[in-house]
Structure 1
Amino acid sequence: MADLRTPNLPASARRVATGKLRYGWTTGTCSAAAAKAAALLLRDGDPPAEVVVPLPKGDRRPTFGVERCERDGDAAVAVVVKDAGDDPDVTHGAHLTARVALTETPGIVLRGGEGVGTVTRPGLGLEVGGPAINKGPRAQITAAVSEVFDLDEVGVEVMISVPGGEKMGRRTSNPRLGILGGISILGTTGIVRPFSTAAWRASVGQAIDVMDAQGAKTVVLTTGGRTEKAARKLLPELPEVCFVEVGDFTGYALKRAAKLEFERCVFVGMAGKLAKLAAGIMMTHWTRSKVDPLFLAEVTREAGGDAALAAEVAASNTGRHAWELWEGAGLHAASDLLCAKVADNLGAYIDGALVVDCAIVDFEGARLAGASPGARGRLAVEALA
């Protein structure tokens, strides 16, 4: 059994980037800024050119330019354009729009308009049928509006919309989570940290929570789009919600699934990630871990490869290179053995709380190249043909 270890996350996941990378603002912060701008127009009669809003944590109060602010009958509408900084965010440039109207009942009511997703499944901590505006942004919007109106005395309705949000939402994990028709209004700190893998980690946990709320007992972890597509074909009996692109957070996903008492995990990947997992590395981010060709050479020998092939593998550049050497030599047993080692390590990492299987597919995701013993007979191999 390998020595199991989980390297620390890259620094970008744990702190705000410095130097040339710019941080940005969440959809929640931008929505709060738009809501405050519209509220100020209702109160003062003049559209503000900029607004200052509180963040969920700390004393910082950033200033936002207001793209547009105008009356809409008895209501007011304001727009703040999201700047995601140097983070590769699909919502960068989105026009977060708030329509604010006064009501007779004191307090605040939040609604979702065009481009804000609707929650259709439990497990997200939001009302099914309601807008995908998370708890943090709800509090942030409320705090921003309360700086304009005393909500104990005045009633306010805020509708958040995002033109083009439906198209943006299709490029996120929202459809898988049952959030349909747009993006989510998100943010726990109000700040987008550049290239942060922490967001991915959080989304993995959220996806597993949704599976649990749906009563799923099997979680299928994949490393990317091609492996997920292959996994769905290999396990066609499972609903879409059971599949999650785990990226580099295999160990975290397993712990989450074990805590929620899932029964089975199937890991579907390609040679590079599997080579790390087979060696006992549970967090496979490229900056934190490397493929060990000497380990793969030992796998080669265990699988029956000769000394010459083992030497070639020991000198290989990548996990893919080593796998291609196995394939070229017809040593398919090495792929099966690699999967068996991954399954053993993942099972040991959670102390046997789940039954773990593993499968490896080729780099087009078009062929099953190997599987752990427990996976054989359970996979619809012909579906990849």
Structure 2
Amino acid sequence: MTEKPRSGYTLPVFATASALAALQWLKQRQAIAPNAAPEMIASVMVDLINPDRTVEIAIEQVSGINETTALAITRSDPGDNLDLTRNTPIWALVELSRGARELFSNPYPLTPNPSAEEQITLKGGEGIGRIVEAQGKAAIYAYARQLLQGNLARLLTPEERITVTIILPEGRQLADRTSNAAFGVVEGLSLLGTSGISQPLSASGQLDISLEELKEKIKQLNNSPVLVFCIGENGLNFALKLGISPERLVKTANWLGPMLVEAGTQGLREILLFGYHGKLMKLAGGIFHTHHHLADGRQEIFTAHCAKIGLPTPVLQRVFAQSTADAALNYLRASDGENGSNWVEQVYESIAQAIDDRCQNYIYNQIQQQVSVGSVLFDRQRQIIVKSKIGTKLLNQLC
């Protein structure tokens, strides 16, 4: 029997734990003699809200900056997940003030029973991403705000106000290894999610669960031959917006090789791959587990296909020097605009065809079954860059 992979907690939980520890330190500081030191805070209890559970989170460090400001640090533990945030530090800087001090300059009386939103100001510091479409607002999403405000408000008296700044010192560097920028979040990571539990979608034990879900989905098709493999949540959401029926959609994690083979084994004869170009193009290089911890190769794959269609050597050098697939795409788009060329179209048609060919050959080599595989690649604005020939045919059937 396959051992169930260990779940962990999402980044908002650790951000909340750090903020709680810093606030607890300040509250202790207020309650003791002026020269006494607050007790060490080794852990805090965090109400996850979703699910309805309270968990203990270890605190690595906590210290006062001054009488009204404290800093605390936790480290992320996502469980049995190939997660790039594993062990990354999460800082929370908490500044505490009392509304009563502001009464002399504020003509409006304090609210007798203030809301958590009134008492708690949340800010994104270094390493927290910025949402491009929201004029650079910190990427602290609804669940993270609910978690922070819900846990911290319980420690505040009605006259107290706090400002909480969440800092991810490694956030910028880690964000460069994600597709965050492809979906409008720049300069760092998001505090994202709808639950405090980090489900190990990329852990090996999860593969068996994903394969069972795939088998069930194929059974429900009633012998209809087409499924759409959506690479990640963004692929799934985009496919739904295009009008593809949910019954046709399978959200895949990084285990694309085994999923493709299982689909063929179960009798599926047509598969449409639908995903962000920076993830999906790995298949063109024969990389069938797409998590960056195991393999990447995007620069090499992109550059190889540029060379295949005959781009000049200086252009190849510039493409290879780009730090992300988006940067390489944007460079080619700019070159097309300047030169009147159609390099983007040619390069991506070559990549898409390679994806189809590699996937079909991979399935056949594993189980000696012919499965028709098409691909659709989209960019950070969720605009389709390319549809392979088979991808075009399948997409026209589905929406």
Q: TM-score, normalised by structure 1?
A: 0.54
User: Which residue number in structure 1 is paired with residue 360 of structure 2?
Assistant: 275
User: Which residue number in structure 1 is paired with residue 50 of structure 2?
Assistant: 57
Is residue 2:147 matched to residue 1:147?
no
Is residue 2:123 matched to residue 1:111?
yes
**8 Å contact kept, 2:17–2:46:** yes
Residue of 162, 169, 184 corresponding to 1:156 = 162
**8 Å contact kept, 1:177–1:210:** no
Residue of 163, 167, 170 corresponding to 2:176 = 170
Is residue 2:92 matched to residue 1:84?
no
User: What runs of 5+ residues in structure 1 fail to find an aligned partner?
Assistant: 1-16, 212-218, 244-264, 277-283, 300-318, 320-337, 351-385
User: Which residue number in structure 2 is paired with residue 190 of structure 1?
Assistant: 196
Find the aligned partners of 1:148 and 1:290 in 2 and give their Cα distance: 61
**8 Å contact kept, 1:118–1:131:** yes
Structure number with the bigger relative contact order (C-alpha 8 A, sep ≥ 6) is 1
Q: CA deviation at 1:294?
A: 4.5
Question: 1:271 is matched by which residue type in structure 2?
Answer: D
**8 Å contact kept, 1:108–1:156:** yes
**8 Å contact kept, 2:98–2:159:** no
User: Which residue number in structure 2 is paired with residue 10 of structure 1?
Assistant: none
* SS of corresponding position for 1:62: strand
Question: 1:33 is matched by which residue type in structure 2?
Answer: A
Question: 2:180 is matched by which residue type in structure 1?
Answer: N
Structure 1 residues 339 and 75: alpha-carbon distance in aligned structure 2, compared to 1, 3 A threshold? closer
Residue of 219, 229, 232 corresponding to 1:201 = 232
Aligned-residue identity in percent: 23
Residue of 113, 130, 137 corresponding to 2:137 = 130
Question: 1:295 is matched by which residue type in structure 2?
Answer: Q
User: What runs of 5+ residues in structure 2 fail to find an aligned partner?
Assistant: 30-37, 100-117, 211-229, 243-273, 285-297, 310-314, 316-324, 330-347, 374-386
Structure 1 residues 97 and 209: alpha-carbon distance in aligned structure 2, compared to 1, 3 A threshold? farther
Find the aligned partners of 1:209 and 1:71 in 2 and give their Cα distance: 49
Structure 1 residues 168 and 206: alpha-carbon distance in aligned structure 2, compared to 1, 3 A threshold? farther
Find the aligned partners of 2:398 and 2:366 in 1 and give their Cα distance: 19
Find the aligned partners of 2:193 and 2:148 in 1 and give their Cα distance: 11
* SS of corresponding position for 2:91: strand
**8 Å contact kept, 2:80–2:200:** yes
* SS of corresponding position for 2:63: strand
* SS of corresponding position for 2:19: helix
Structure 1 residues 208 and 164: alpha-carbon distance in aligned structure 2, compared to 1, 3 A threshold? farther
Residue of 347, 352, 373 corresponding to 2:396 = 347
Question: 1:28 is matched by which residue type in structure 2?
Answer: P
Find the aligned partners of 1:18 and 1:189 in 2 and give their Cα distance: 25
Q: CA deviation at 1:20?
A: 5.2
Q: CA deviation at 1:25?
A: 1.1
What does the per-residue CA deviation read over 1:7-57, in whole Å, with 9 as the maximum and x for residues that have no partner? xxxxxxxxxx98352111111110011111111111122342110111131
Find the aligned partners of 1:58 and 1:94 in 2 and give their Cα distance: 24
Find the aligned partners of 1:18 and 1:75 in 2 and give their Cα distance: 48
Find the aligned partners of 2:394 and 2:45 in 1 and give their Cα distance: 51
1:1-385 correspondence to structure 2 within 5 Å: 19=3, 21-45=5-29, 46=38, 47-73=40-66, 74-104=68-98, 106-119=118-131, 121-122=132-133, 127-150=134-157, 152-196=158-202, 201-205=232-236, 222=277, 223-225=280-282, 227=284, 230=302, 240=326, 268=352, 270-271=355-356, 275=360, 293-295=368-370, 340-350=389-399
How many residues are aligned here? Answer: 247
Structure 1 residues 273 and 138: alpha-carbon distance in aligned structure 2, compared to 1, 3 A threshold? farther
What does the per-residue CA deviation read over 1:47-92, in whole Å, with 9 as the maximum and x for residues that have no partner? 4211011113132111011100110112011111111111011110
Q: TM-score, normalised by structure 2?
A: 0.52
**8 Å contact kept, 2:283–2:359:** no
Question: 2:152 is matched by which residue type in structure 1?
Answer: V
Structure 1 vs Structure 2 CA RMSD? 4.1
User: Which residue number in structure 1 is paired with residue 225 of structure 2?
Assistant: none
Find the aligned partners of 1:128 and 1:207 in 2 and give their Cα distance: 23
* SS of corresponding position for 1:346: helix
Q: CA deviation at 1:180?
A: 2.2
Q: Which structure features the higher share of helix residues?
A: 2
